[in-house]
Amino acid sequence: MDSQNAKQRIRDTDYDPNISNPTKSKDNSKTVRLKREKRVAMAKRGIRSLAIAVALPLSLTISNLYFFGTTRGYGTSTGSISMPFWFPPPWALHLTCMTSSFLMGLSAWLVWAEGGFHRNPAALYLYLAQLGLSLAWEPIVFRMAAPWVGLLVCLATFAALVGCSRQFKEVNPIAGDLVKPCLAWASFLAIVNLKLLFL
């Protein structure tokens, strides 16, 4: 009878969570280690995808500014026309265009990270449309000196940004909020373009 009780007690300790079990602790440490490795791998992938999502539109904008931007003025052939005091200098305009591109890339990444582009492809199309339109504005205004066309591009960019803001906000409210400064910038560019028409 004593031997049966001893066997029974040994069996009870195998399943008792209060008593340490070497096999169980090894399994737990392996599970914890595997979970930690998975999290680190996911974080590395997330950082890599964030870098690509921000660097790609930013590098396109910088290339566009390098090849098509100018430091002379707003598409005036002589550059002798005096601009209103509230017109930003070309370097400030270029810097703000880069900032807008950075914010849109970050916003798009937040939407992509939550699967928003897979669930709603219209958000991706709107993002690509605003990116293309914002890249087209620089050569049209600075190189071609076509403020009418530039104004139409600005208005189309603004419409695409409004669509992005609505679509992004449904997926991630922070992503929708990041589009708002870009909307303000597109509005300001439209006002600058409108003023250029009457100079």
Q: Is residue 134 part of a domain?
A: yes
Q: Is residue 106 part of a domain?
A: yes
pLDDT of residue 85: 80
Give the position of tokens 């002589």. Answer: 78
Residue 13 has pLDDT above 80, yes or no: no
As a residue count, the chain comes to 199
Q: Considering the chain, what is the average pLDDT of its residues?
A: 82
> What amino acid is encoded at 123 in this protein?
A
pLDDT of residue 90: 82
Give the position of tokens 């897979």. Answer: 118
Give the residue-averaged pLDDT of 51-65. 93
Q: Is residue 5 part of a domain?
A: no
DSSP string, 8-40: HHHHHHHH-TTS--HHHHHHHHHHHHHHHHHHH
Q: Is residue 11 part of a domain?
A: no
Q: How many domains does the chain have?
A: 1
Taking the CB of residue 196, how many other CB atoms lie within 10 A of it?
Answer: 21
DSSP string, 69-122: --SS-SS-SS--SPPPTTSPPHHHHHHHHHHHHHHHHHHHHHHHHTTHHHH-HH
Q: Is residue 128 part of a domain?
A: yes
CATH number of the domain residue 40 falls in: 1.20.1260
Q: Is residue 62 part of a domain?
A: yes
Which one-letter DSSP state was computed for residue 171? H
145 by Cβ neighbours in 10 Å (0-12 / 13-18 / 19+) ranks as middle
Contact 161, 186 (CB under 8 A): yes
Q: Is residue 4 part of a domain?
A: no
Q: Is residue 9 part of a domain?
A: no
Residue 42 has pLDDT above 50, yes or no: yes
pLDDT of residue 27: 63
Range of the domain at 185: 16-197
